[in-house]
Structure 1
Amino acid sequence: MAGCHDILEETTRERFEPGFFKTEEGVVGGLTALYANLRRVYGQPYYYNATETGTDEYTYGAQADGNFQAADLSGLGIPDAQTSRFDVLWNASYAAINSSSGIIANATEAEMPAALIAEARFFRAFGYFQLVQAFGGVPLDLGGGILEFNTAPTLVSSRNTVPEVYSLAIFPDLVQAVADLEDNPRVNGGVTKNVARLILAKAYLTYGWWLENPNNIPTYPEASRTDPDGHDAQWYFQAAYDVATNAIDNPGPYMLQETFYDVNLAQNDRNSEIMLWADHTEYSAKYSESNVTGWDGGDAQNQAVWMVTWYFHTIKASADPATWSPVDAMFRTVQAGQSYSRMWSRMAPPIGVFTNTFADKTNDSRFNGTFTTAYRATWHYNPGRAENTLYGANFMPVGPNDRILSFLPSDPGGIDYSNTTFNSGTEAGYLPGRQDYVVPLTKISRADYPGLWKLGVYRQGSDYNDDKVASSRPYNILKFSELYFIAAEAAVKGANGSRTARDLINVIRSRAGKWRFDVAENQEKLEDYSAEMTNATPVTIDINYILDERSREYFGEGYRWYDLARTQKWEEYAGTYQISPKAGQDPVTVEREIEPYLYLRPVPVGQLDRMDGDEAYKTNYQNPGYRGGE
């Protein structure tokens, strides 16, 4: 980024003591640990599941275990204190919050540079903001006092209310961070004034919704929907708009990429649109915190995309042009590009994703730049395979990198799913005159569905061919584009300014109409449909349109549950979904039971087990709905 020349050097330490935070080396070391801690949340597969499964973006897949089935809320269980994978967020956040408090207290006493301390303020506020959205009111006193660094274990805890968390922790820290942070990052990927503005604007927006509470969603600990500072919801919507538009007008080193494709292209990682990421590298297991040459199962690995990748490696073709002699047409490799990540099939998109959210597949490049809909033969990446040609459906020849399976925009009719002659090894069928097997997007199943290209694994080096390795790409957390969405949503909620919600959304939609590359066709495509995209935008934007656009922009990135919870639209958007029992069969409608208490996630059982106190004390600590006997 502009103005940034230093690279983040990581030194692992088992613990930090107060005196260490009174030196600049200690402050920098503590901040480095805060950046590293992001890896334990973002890209972590079970937290990813918790933010996506059960929304309109994902249901459980064919290989889902109980964690994913329960998260779907469709009759196969309900997340509770033992099984809810929001425990990942709880456990990682409090370690970071306490370290942040240690840096703030001791570095302030030692008169360290304000900009360094402001980075810690950002991380403390960011941690609390994520927690309060998921759990409601959470503890501000970790044993040493309100927002104080705690150095001794404590077995007691008290939860603050939602207004207290915002007014005492989130807003003051972020306002101070905005004031003290520099425009340009201290290190590559470091937080800046505008990173703090993004979270401050989003916190204002979220708290405004909480105060308004349009669908009477319960909170805990119980608290009046009034603001300690005397502001109403409209004040916070206006504040969100003002902060977000100020950040847009003063971008610093950040800007939108020219095309949506460029935002998520692996070769363009850490681009100027990405404001914060959980970093990984393929060149060092130490700095990636995962094995870069194979499986190791650590808790800091980026494995999110595995969860949404189906078992495409089972696709077969024939070695003989006249008699079906099945061999593997696909080799599992990370060298073939972003489309071929390791597959676990834990999560699958419902059909509505393709018929509703991404209905426009012609003008809007975001469908093409989000999913893998064309699977191309990769057997030649296997050093043990020497065939130049295989034979697919209709015994038609298939060469390396040719299509072997495609997801069609609609059902043309006449697809043969019998697999009696051309057995694809999947649920897909075939059509006369095509060498590739086909599945209509209107009839996908939990086993056969488009993969998530945007998060796909990629290796820059050419010395490794094992798909078991976790993704060495950074996991994107915050994007400059979200400032436009925050301001637009605030405008829909009544905020006033020179830009309307339509103006702001059309910046994003205009960019979405610009094509540079066609992922499905694997070739350059220089087309500009920005006028068609902006002309199709409604004159009056409502919150549902904002949510639809957010899903098109951030599909599968871990935003969705937070978006639906903030706006209290979870039941409306995800109460039912459709999916086919088997690819090609007529879809069935599945109902979910999204009770109001589920808007708050359960406090993890590990937290309750570590606390002293009788059962009544622990019961009252837990969110209602997750208590034994309720």
Structure 2
Amino acid sequence: MKTITKYIKISALALVATFGSCSKILEEQPRSIYEPGFFETERGIMGGLTSMYAHLRWIYGQAYWYNTLLTGTDEVTYAQQADQNFLVMDLSGRALMNAENSRADAIWGICFSNINTANGIIEFAQQVDGVTEAHIGEARFFRAFDYFLLAQTFGGVPLDLGAGELTFNTSTTRSSVRNTVPEVYTKAIFPDLLHAAEHLPETGRVVGGVTKTLARLYLAKAYLTYGWWLENPNNIPTYPAADRIDPDGHDAQWYFQQAYNVAVQGIENPGPFRLQQTYYDVNLATNDRNNELLLYADHTETSEFYNGGSLTWGNGGAPDNFAGWMLTWNYTEIRSSSSSSAWSAVSSVQREAAQALGRPWVRMAPTIGALSNTFADKTNDSRYDGTFTTVYRGNWNKAGIQGPLYNANYLPVNPGDAILTFLNEEPTQAISYGAPFNSNVGAGVLPGRADFVISPSGVSRRIYPGLWKLGPYRTDSGSGLGEPNAGSTRPFTAAKFSELYLVAAEAAVKGASTRAGFTARDLVNVIRARAGVWRWDNNGNTERIEDNSAAMIASTPAEITIEYILAERSREYFGEGYRWHDLVRTQKWTQLASSYTICGPNIGDRTPIVFQRNIENFHYLRPIPLGQLDAMEGDRGIYQNPGYD
């Protein structure tokens, strides 16, 4: 398997540790090749472990992989400046997905490179003084993590990288055999996660390090996902072809029960992890690395070396954290006037390294259905406000532009005032468009308001609420605009403590026997109650001390369905990269995302259009990347997932 081996042996951006065992901070240095001798010392083992944390940067925050997880779902479609990378994933007739253009290729080599590093650590670590079962547990967690990601994306994948199953490989081979899905789960994912859950510490060895709670979350998710795979309610094909029979003799219901049990165990034994008191605080940049976050790909603004990318400019490639650019529309097109009587255009909302703004790429856009239906309750539920930027405020003073400006209705506005607002609901008054107000982005005007407005039905591929939760944050911007063109120096979160509740709830809906106080409705209501607590109105930019948790609980249906769980997951994790896997796991992708509504790509497009997607059963697996196929000998068709020939 030449392509995989190439990534394993020549990984120019592999990062290894240079720290002593008492350090709590990962220190890194580049390394291009791992050989067996490297893993024969404590320093080598620790270096390999550090590289496993570093590999997260090539997955989380990688915008093209991020695109594959959202574009084409009920959350997201392509935006006005989308290129082929995004048009392909939408499955709405703009391009056909194949082995060459599917951006699921972004994880193939990265995951297999890391798996081989894990193989080396696991194989040699027990012979090295100073290395414990907890250290081995870290490697086994990451090996399971990568195999789980690959199996969800491609189906069965190779356990043998050239030297035997789950064995460290240094040879070059042009052949490969894919294991079946049951083999990947029962030989690799489950044993590794069980070991990790038993041996990892409650508190991470290093800042952001893997823990027992994290391992339990992934074990529960893997049990849940495999249970769905065994049940296969909609007869979705798998590849390589395999009977939906568990090698260990368990049925789907057994796995749903295990998912429930492990998730509840994680909730009851949280270690240092907790839910934040408000949803706003979960994703607030000044509260990054809080104790709701179980795993993240870390970055820093203090060093380009440790950040993994430039602090002043991003070229749109990993390991930069640039995913947040994709769902950011070009708000810098907004203009106000320097005159109160004749429109004299001034850029009133400048590009800024601030969480509500950031660098616009206009590649992905939220669907109208997601904004209006998923987030239907914008009064009690704080998650819409804590997810999107819906109010764009003036910051022209930070660009050196002086004085007040004039905006909608020629009313004066000052820095910090609302310049353009996406309304939460359709207004009772008619919105006026065009002269004499001249919004250059096609927004409208309401009587007496100084801000231009866009109604929920006017969200388009060109202009839409931005994704506040992934916006950048810098402490070195001073009184200026900072460095908005750099990749975000914030961590990109991969796992949250809150998901334990929703995994357990989903398993309960699938028939797991529940305990008192931990029914599906009980578990969902913990998350919903928290969503009802406000301390800050994000888009109103004002304090809001309000507890709507009782109203949130009261509106939870008596019977929780899978569709309701999926809606809650979207409200909780919108735009974070969960959605495609959620829809594929539950086999609800076609049901929930085969059509969507959005306005067109041009300024002034305000007529919602219904678009159809052609989601076929074979799309539930992504194609094996062309680079892998080109490097192999033999029949590529046997290796490729059906439908992508």
Shorter-chain TM-score category? over 0.9
Map 1:339-488 to 2 at 5 A. 339-383=356-400, 385=401, 387-412=402-427, 415-416=430-431, 418-462=433-477, 465-488=482-505
Residue 609 in structure 1 maps to residue 630 in structure 2? yes
The SS at the match of 1:43 is: coil
Map 1:170-569 to 2 at 5 A. 170-334=189-353, 337-383=354-400, 385=401, 387-412=402-427, 415-416=430-431, 418-462=433-477, 465-498=482-515, 499-569=518-588
Match of 1:164 in 2: 183
Report the CA distance between 1:110 and its aligned residue.
2.8
**CA distance 1:440–1:259, change in 2 (3 Å):** same
The answer on whether the counterparts of 1:306 and 1:342 sit within 8 Å (CA) in structure 2 is yes
CA distance in 2 between counterparts of 1:462 and 1:591 reads 44
Residue 32 in structure 1 maps to residue 50 in structure 2? yes
The answer on whether the counterparts of 2:80 and 2:462 sit within 8 Å (CA) in structure 1 is yes
The SS at the match of 1:572 is: helix
Q: 1:60 aligns with which of 75, 78, 83?
A: 78
CA distance in 1 between counterparts of 2:428 and 2:337 reads 25
Report the CA distance between 1:297 and its aligned residue.
4.4
Report the CA distance between 1:296 and its aligned residue.
4.3
Give the letter for the 2:550 counterpart. A
Report the CA distance between 1:27 and its aligned residue.
1.0
The answer on whether the counterparts of 2:477 and 2:483 sit within 8 Å (CA) in structure 1 is no
Match of 2:5 in 1: none
**Residues 95-125 of structure 1: CA distance to partner in whole angstroms, max 9, x if unpaired?**
1101010110011233621110110000000
The answer on whether the counterparts of 1:280 and 1:288 sit within 8 Å (CA) in structure 2 is yes
The answer on whether the counterparts of 2:115 and 2:143 sit within 8 Å (CA) in structure 1 is yes
The SS at the match of 1:348 is: strand
Give the letter for the 2:93 counterpart. G
The SS at the match of 1:11 is: strand
Give the letter for the 1:590 counterpart. F
Match of 2:62 in 1: 44
The SS at the match of 1:531 is: helix
Tell me which moved more, 590-599 or 407-416. Answer: 407-416
The answer on whether the counterparts of 2:299 and 2:490 sit within 8 Å (CA) in structure 1 is yes
CA distance in 1 between counterparts of 2:101 and 2:346 reads 40
Report the CA distance between 1:466 and its aligned residue.
2.6
CA distance in 2 between counterparts of 1:465 and 1:182 reads 39
CA distance in 2 between counterparts of 1:165 and 1:505 reads 31
Report the CA distance between 1:298 and its aligned residue.
4.2
Report the CA distance between 1:421 and its aligned residue.
2.0
CA distance in 2 between counterparts of 1:433 and 1:417 reads 12
CA distance in 1 between counterparts of 2:550 and 2:113 reads 48
CA distance in 1 between counterparts of 2:219 and 2:140 reads 12
Q: 1:19 aligns with which of 23, 29, 37?
A: 37
Report the CA distance between 1:497 and its aligned residue.
2.3
The SS at the match of 2:210 is: coil
The answer on whether the counterparts of 1:61 and 1:346 sit within 8 Å (CA) in structure 2 is yes
Q: 1:585 aligns with which of 606, 619, 642?
A: 606
The SS at the match of 1:214 is: coil
Q: 1:123 aligns with which of 112, 133, 142?
A: 142
Match of 2:7 in 1: none
CA distance in 1 between counterparts of 2:320 and 2:257 reads 39
CA distance in 1 between counterparts of 2:228 and 2:429 reads 49
CA distance in 1 between counterparts of 2:349 and 2:529 reads 37
The SS at the match of 1:313 is: helix
Report the CA distance between 1:22 and its aligned residue.
1.9
CA distance in 2 between counterparts of 1:24 and 1:379 reads 54
Report the CA distance between 1:584 and its aligned residue.
6.2
CA distance in 1 between counterparts of 2:317 and 2:309 reads 6
Give the letter for the 1:478 counterpart. A
CA distance in 2 between counterparts of 1:537 and 1:380 reads 45
CA distance in 1 between counterparts of 2:509 and 2:281 reads 29
Give TM-score scaled by structure 1 length.
0.96
Gapped runs of 5+ residues in structure 1? Answer: none
CA distance in 2 between counterparts of 1:526 and 1:15 reads 54
RMSD (Å) for aligned C-alpha atoms: 1.3
**Residues 473-508 of structure 1: CA distance to partner in whole angstroms, max 9, x if unpaired?**
000000000000000000000111211000100000
Give the letter for the 1:362 counterpart. T
Give the letter for the 2:632 counterpart. M
Aligned residue-pair number: 617
Report the CA distance between 1:182 and its aligned residue.
1.1
The SS at the match of 2:536 is: strand
Give the letter for the 2:388 counterpart. F
Report the CA distance between 1:401 and its aligned residue.
0.8
CA distance in 1 between counterparts of 2:428 and 2:511 reads 48
**Residues 112-150 of structure 1: CA distance to partner in whole angstroms, max 9, x if unpaired?**
211101100000000000000000000000001000000
The SS at the match of 1:183 is: coil
CA distance in 1 between counterparts of 2:403 and 2:641 reads 60
The answer on whether the counterparts of 1:135 and 1:601 sit within 8 Å (CA) in structure 2 is yes
**CA distance 1:248–1:357, change in 2 (3 Å):** same
The SS at the match of 1:246 is: helix
The answer on whether the counterparts of 1:19 and 1:106 sit within 8 Å (CA) in structure 2 is no
Give the letter for the 2:185 counterpart. Y
